Amino acid sequence: MNHVSFKNRMIELVVDYLVIICYLIILLLVNLALTMVIWGGVPEYTELQVQLIATFTSVIPIILIFSYLDFYKNGSIGKRVAGLTLIFTHKKFRFSLLRNIIKFLPWQLGHFGVIHGMYHEFNMTSITIANLGMVLGLVLLLMGLFKKDKRHIGDMISGTQVRVIK
């Protein structure tokens, strides 16, 4: 039994979401500066190029930032604001990384599906991939909020658990 309240978990999620939005706004501003000042307009990109840009500029840095915070600071900014901490069964960075790869996999699947859809008129493949991301994201969220131990799939695989700071 884990005594993390719904309220604490929602505070964590909202604060972490705001942190991600701040990162994405900075990324947007840098991209706009590069696009308009350096390149003089938006270049033509292939689907693969857009997939790689989305992966390497948004998803991977966020995974690395949250993995660093989980491992070295015992949790993200949202966890600390909400009075939560991340406990490791075996504290190794690879477990933090694995946990966050799984946690942000729905976001990456959403990117894959939407970008593929933009290039292929939202065919069955793009819709399936995007919906798979939404379903996985919902499963992770519901597990973290409503399971007795408050562990989602990434926590179970990596041997971690979010708990209230005592």
The full DSSP string for 104-130 is HHHHHHHHHHHHHHHHHTS-HHHHHHH
| pLDDT tens, position by position, 15-45 | 999 999 999 999 999 999 999 898 888 889 9
- Provide the whole-model pTM: 0.92
Residue 68 domain flag: yes
- Report the C-alpha gap between 30 and 150 in whole angstroms: 37
In angstroms, the first-to-last Cα distance of the chain is 15
Residue 127 domain flag: yes
Q: What is the pLDDT of residue 43?
A: 87
Residue 60 domain flag: yes
- Report the C-alpha gap between 19 and 13 in whole angstroms: 10
| Number of structural domains in the chain | 1
Q: What is the pLDDT of residue 96?
A: 97
Residue 101 domain flag: yes
Residue 122 domain flag: yes
Residue 1 domain flag: no
Q: Which domain holds residue 160?
A: 6-164
Residue 118 domain flag: yes
